[in-house]
Structure 1
Amino acid sequence: MKKTTHAAEQQRPDVKAARQRWRKAQPALDSARLVFIDETGLNTKMARRYGRCPRSRRCLARIPHGHWQSSTFIAALRAEKITAPFLIEGAVNAEVFTAYLEKVLCPELRPGDIVILDNLSTHKVAGGSALITACGASVRYLPPHSPDLNPIEMAFAKLKAHLRHAGARTLGDLQNAVVSALASFQPQHCQGFFRHAQYASI
Structure 2
Amino acid sequence: MAGRLKCLLCSQSNSTKRPSLQSSQREAVLDPGTVVILDNLSTHKSPRAAEALQRQGCWFLFLPPYSPDLNPIEMAFSKLKAHLRRIGARTFDALFEALGDICDLFEPQECWNFIKAAGYASD
Choose between structure 1 and 2 for higher RCO, CA contacts under 8 A separated by at least 6 residues. 1
- Give the TM-score taking structure 2 as reference length: 0.46
